[in-house]
């Protein structure tokens, strides 16, 4: 309790005694004095919650801090500004920065910060409106960070971008007694033309992967078929046995049609045999 508060408590005590004396000696002064006493008493009491700190200014000069609980201040002479120490959330408005590879993107973010209890007076003395200042600082930092990154880096490394923004805002807000907990990029909106280009690129990449997988499968199948043909060819009668197996597989289903390939030379020989037979 500062000197002003002690003086004011003494004054209120003396004023209360005067009211009691007036009740006995001058009853017609009792009610006006009582009204004045309750007005001064209610104006002197300041309750600070556990999540707050009170910044006291006496005649405009910083005069200490009020802690949680019941506190006494001097009306008119002293003014108290309360500061919330809880975690604050500020929505950073949507920005349209240009990336390092000259692509305009729309980004919005959210920043989490809180006021340091031991330096709570700085958030009132050092900056006019710390909430607005934090929001503007985050917007500037976001534009600078995104401008130093390519589009692919922004899309794939959101945590890195958020960390850089947090570091810049936290360092700049230290003189204000503010600690930045985290910065999160909520949404990244791309231009419609860029969405079309990226969709085509993704489709081409999928086609390329499918072609590679298909070619790889054919190469593996060719190796296995070549190995099987080598084994069958090295065994006497193996090829005939393989042919009979395939014919058996085809004939197992009545809906299948069996096609035999006959060399053209054999057909021509048969035609010559028929001509000789007619003669």
Which residues have CB under 8 Å from 235's CB, separation 6+?
A: none
Judge if 110 and 60 occupy the same domain: no
Domain boundary among 195, 228, 249: 195
Residue 12 within any structural domain of the chain: yes
Judge if 78 and 36 occupy the same domain: yes
Judge if 79 and 99 occupy the same domain: no
Residue 54, beta-bridge partner list: 66, 82
Domain boundary among 83, 106, 128: 83
Q: Give the pLDDT confidence score for residue 207 in this predicted structure.
A: 85
3-state secondary structure the chain: CCHHHHHHHHHHHHHHHHHHHHHHHCHHHHHHHHHHHHHHHHHHEEEECCCEEEEEEECCEEEEEECCEEEECCCCCEEEEEEECCCEEEEEEEECCECCCCCECEEEEEEEEEECHHHCCHHHHCCCCHHHHHHHHHHHHHHHHHHCCCHHHHHHCHHHHHHHHHHHHHHHHHHHCEEEEEEEEEEEECCHHHHHHHHHHHHHHHHHHHHHHHHHHHHHHHHHHHHHHHHHHCCCCHHHHHHHHHHHHHHCCCCCCCCCCCCHHHHHHHHHHHHHHHC
CATH of the domain at 173: 3.30.479.30
Q: Give the pLDDT confidence score for residue 87 in this predicted structure.
A: 93
Q: Give the pLDDT confidence score for residue 204 in this predicted structure.
A: 83
Q: Give the pLDDT confidence score for residue 2 in this predicted structure.
A: 54
Domain boundary among 143, 171, 195: 195
Q: Are 52 and 67 in contact (CB under 8 A)?
A: no
Residue 230 within any structural domain of the chain: no
Residue 216 within any structural domain of the chain: no
Number of folded domains that form the chain: 2
Judge if 126 and 177 occupy the same domain: yes
| Pairwise CA distance, residues 24 & 82, whole Å | 42
Q: Give the pLDDT confidence score for residue 72 in this predicted structure.
A: 80
- pLDDT digits (tens), the chain, 279 positions: 555 556 666 666 666 666 666 666 666 665 666 666 667 777 777 889 999 999 989 888 898 888 898 888 877 778 889 999 999 998 888 888 888 888 888 888 999 999 999 899 999 999 988 999 999 999 999 999 998 988 888 888 888 889 999 999 999 999 999 999 999 988 888 877 776 777 777 778 888 888 888 888 888 888 887 887 777 667 666 666 666 666 666 666 666 566 665 555 555 655 655 555 555
Domain that holds residue 68: 3-83
Residue 223 within any structural domain of the chain: no
Q: Give the pLDDT confidence score for residue 59 in this predicted structure.
A: 84
pTM score > 0.75 for this model?
no
């Amino acid at each position: 309790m500062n000197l002003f508060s002690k003086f004011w408590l003494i004054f209120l005590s003396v004023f209360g005694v005067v009211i009691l004396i007036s009740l006995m000696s001058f009853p017609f002064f009792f009610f006006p004095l009582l009204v004045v006493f309750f007005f001064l008493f209610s104006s002197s009491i300041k309750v600070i919650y556990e999540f707050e700190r009170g910044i006291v200014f006496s005649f405009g000069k910083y005069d200490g801090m009020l802690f949680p609980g019941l506190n006494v201040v001097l009306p008119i002479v002293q003014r108290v500004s309360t500061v919330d120490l809880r975690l604050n959330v500020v929505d950073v408005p949507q920005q349209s920065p240009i990336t390092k590879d000259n692509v305009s993107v729309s980004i919005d973010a959210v920043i989490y910060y809180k006021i340091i209890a031991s330096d709570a007076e700085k958030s009132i003395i050092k900056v006019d409106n710390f909430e607005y200042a934090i929001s503007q600082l985050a917007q500037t930092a976001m534009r600078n960070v995104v401008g130093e990154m390519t589009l692919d880096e922004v899309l794939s490394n959101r945590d890195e971008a958020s960390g850089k923004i947090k570091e810049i805002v936290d360092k700049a807000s230290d003189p204000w007694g503010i600690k930045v907990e985290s910065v999160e990029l909520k949404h990244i909106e791309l231009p419609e033309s860029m969405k079309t280009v990226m969709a085509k690129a993704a489709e081409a990449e999928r086609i390329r992967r499918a072609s590679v997988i298909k070619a790889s499968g054919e190469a593996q199948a060719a190796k296995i078929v070549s190995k099987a043909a080598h084994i069958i060819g090295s065994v006497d009668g193996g090829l005939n046995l393989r042919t009979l197996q395939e014919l058996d597989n085809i004939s197992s289903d009545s809906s299948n049609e069996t096609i035999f390939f006959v060399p053209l030379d054999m057909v021509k020989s048969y035609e010559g045999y028929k001509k000789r037979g007619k003669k």
